[in-house]
Amino acid sequence: MTNDIGWELYRSFLSVLTEGSLSGAARAMGIAQPTVGRHIAALERSLGVTLFTRSQLGLLPTEAAQSLAPFAQTMRSSAAALKRAAEGQGEGIQGTVRVTASEVMGVEVLPPILAQLQSEHPGLKVELMLSNRVQDLLKREADIAIRMTQPKQQQLIARRVGQVNLGLHAHKKYLRKRGTPKSLADLTRHALIGFDEETPFVRAARKGFAVWHRDAFAFRTDSDVAQLALIRSGCGIGICQVALAARDPQLVHLLPESMSLGLETWLTMHEDLRHTPRCKTTFDALLQGIERYVSG
């Protein structure tokens, strides 16, 4: 096995893994297809393993490729973090900060906070990564994360922002057509909006709320943003953040005494970034902004 393997070989490996072909990887990376092919061949020789096999569907990763992928992805995240750190050198608040949050937080809550932050610090750039998957701050997939669960890793700085309250909501036009439920039992006669794949949070939330199950839903989606859009469009009754729904006078909070859920909200970043101006400034701005949102 060759000890000195260039990063560009791993970069091509990850691109082929994502795109499924040499041509797709070449387009994504902006280089020639033969170059990608040479990179994969060189990496296979250096590692002494076969990474891909050809099929009618394209290049299929071998078991070796799948086992190596997480390490290459960590290298990519570290390289991106290194670049962000280099951009932040110099006087003042400047450079790039990578922030990860859930879809709803990223679309509905963070934009005005980030707009104010950028107006105060024009040299600051923000990469906003929206996903309900928990990004790994220890692997530098992001600099700052907004999470709905308390992080356990000791290397992370974690601040509890507060509790985001969830409740049943429907648009007034839906209620005019279908009536307003007076009890949880009445929900069985309504069009419900809910999940497609059950998550641990959903399983915990369903305790004592038996009517909320997959077969009962007229509309199913695992996207929080899509569920909110369906509620706003008058498709049915769904669960969304109470503070968010309160912004729209056409949305009605239903059965608050019978059904109420809370999401603990945490702001986290790696402790190594606590004295980095770009990250500390962004962390403080997000903390203040989300606290205002949570408190109403």
The CATH number linked to 98 is 3.40.190.10
Asked whether residue 167 falls in the same domain as residue 247, the answer is yes
For the segment 257-274, what is each residue's pLDDT rounded down to a tens digit?
988 888 889 999 888 787
The per-residue pLDDT of the chain, averaged, comes to 87
Task: Supply the pLDDT for residue 133.
Answer: 66
Same structural domain for residues 101 and 46? no
Provide the pLDDT for residue 71. 87
- What are 37-48's pLDDT values in tens digits? 999 999 998 888
Domain housing 26: 7-79
Say which residue the tokens 């072909």 belong to: 21
The whole-number pLDDT of residue 253 equals 97
DSSP 8-class letter at 143: S
Number of domains in the chain: 3
Asked if the structure places residue 2 within a domain, the reply is no
In a domain, 126, yes or no: yes
Of 191, 186, 184, whose CA–CA distance to 209 is shortest? 184
117 with 181, same domain?
A: no
Rounded to an integer, the average pLDDT of 166-188 is 95
For residue 138, the model assigns a pLDDT of 58
- Distances in Å between the Cα of 285 and the Cα atoms of 215, 279, 296 are 42, 10, 17
Question: Is the domain of 189 the same as that of 259?
Answer: yes
Confidence band, pLDDT 50/70/90 cuts, at residue 166:
very high
Which of residues 79, 95, 116 is at a domain's end? Answer: 79
If asked whether residues 98 and 74 sit together in one domain, one would say no
Instruction: Give residue 89's identity as a one-letter amino acid code.
Output: Q
Same domain, 186 and 199: yes
Indicate whether 147 belongs to any domain: yes
Q: Is residue 30 part of a domain?
A: yes
| Rg (alpha carbons) of the chain, rounded to whole number | 23
Element (H, E) at 251: strand 251-254
Closest CA to 265 of 165, 178, 192, 164: 164
Q: What pLDDT score was predicted for residue 137? A: 61
Residue 2 has pLDDT above 60, yes or no: no
pLDDT band (50, 70, 90) for residue 152: confident
Of 21, 47, 79, which marks where a domain is finished? 79
Residue after which a domain boundary falls, among 33, 56, 79 = 79
pLDDT-based confidence at residue 136 (cuts at 50, 70, 90): low
Q: Are residues 203 and 239 in the same domain?
A: yes
Q: Nearest to residue 263, comparing CAs of 240, 246, 284, 296? A: 240
Length of the chain: 296
Is residue 282 assigned to a domain? yes
Q: What is the pLDDT of residue 169?
A: 97
Q: Is residue 1 part of a domain?
A: no
If asked whether residues 168 and 255 sit together in one domain, one would say yes
Q: What is the CATH number of the domain that holds 50?
A: 1.10.10.10
pLDDT in tens, 209-250: 778 888 999 999 999 999 999 999 999 999 999 999 999 999
Residue 202 lies in a domain: yes
What's this model's pTM, rounded to 2 decimal places? 0.69
Whole-number percent of the chain with pLDDT over 90: 48
Residue 279 has pLDDT above 80, yes or no: yes
